[in-house]
Amino acid sequence: MPDSAPGTETIEVIYTAEAIADRIAELATAIAGLELDRLLVVPILTGSFVFASDLLRGLHRAGLAPEVDFLSVSSYRDGTKSVGQVDIIRDLRLDVTDRNVLLIDDILDTGRTLAFAKDLIVARGAKRVVSCVLLDKKVRRSVAIEADYAAFDCPPYFVVGYGMDLASRFRELPFVGRVV
C-alpha cells in the first residue's frame, strides 16, 4: 500500500501504525510478566525514540512504573551501511548497579549497537539486561546477539519511519516503510 509523504518520494508501507500499536500492547504485557523490580528503561537514541515512547506507555497500561534514562550512541554509518565502531554520544545519568534494565532500540541490524550497549550496562553491574527492538534484520548480523523481544522481522533493506531516518528525514511517519 503506497503512501505519500511530504516531498517527492513514495513510501511503501511495511508495518502500519495499527499493526505496530497492537504488537506493542502484546510486548508490554510480556515484559510486565517478567516482574522485573526497580525497572530502568533505556532507549538507545536516536532511532528508538518513537517506539520507546509508545512502548513506555504500553508498559504503564500493563501496570509498570519504570524509571527512564537515555543512552545515545553513534554507530558510524556510511550512508545506509554500518562501518563498525560504536561510541557514546550521551551517557546514562542514572546508576544501573543491581538494577533490572530494559534496553530499547529501533533495529537490530549487524548487532554492534545492541551488543555495545548491553556489554556496557552489564559491565556497570546491572542485575539483568533485557532487550526489546522494534525490528529484527536477522540476515545482517555480524555480532552474535539476539534481542529478548522483537516486535517484527525486518526485510533486508533500508527502512524508514516511526522514528527511523534516512539522512535525518522520515522520522515523523507513523508507520514503518521503505523509500521506493
Active-site amino acid positions: 109
Residue 158 partner contact from Mg ion, ligand IMP, none using kind-dependent CB cut-offs of 5 to 8 Å = ligand IMP
Closer residue to ligand IMP (CB): 64 or 108: 108
Nearest to 103 by CA among 27, 33, 42, 38: 42
Residue selected from 36, 43, 45, 109 as contacting ligand IMP according to rule CB under 6 A = 109
- Site membership for ligand IMP, residue 14 (CB under 6 A): no
* CA-wise closest residue to 164 among 177, 147, 146: 177
> Using the rule CB under 5 A, is 111 a contact of Mg ion?
no
Return the one option of ligand IMP, Mg ion, none that residue 11 interacts with (CB less than 5 to 8 A, by type): none
Name the minimum Å distance from CB 76 to ligand IMP: 9
> 87-90 and 71-74 as β-strands: parallel, antiparallel, unpaired?
antiparallel
Q: Residue 1, SS3? A: coil
| Cβ pair 97, 124 in contact under 8 A | yes
- Cα 13 → chain centroid: 19
Which of the residues 45 through 74 are near ligand IMP (CB under 6 A)? 47
Q: Is 164 in the site for ligand IMP (CB under 6 A)?
A: yes
Q: Which does 159 bind (CB under 5 to 8 A by kind): Mg ion, ligand IMP, none?
A: ligand IMP
Q: Which of 133, 143, 72 is nearest to 102 (CA)?
A: 133
Q: Which one-letter DSSP state was computed for residue 3? A: E
Binding residues (CB under 6 A) for ligand IMP: these are 47, 75, 82, 105-113, 158-160, 164
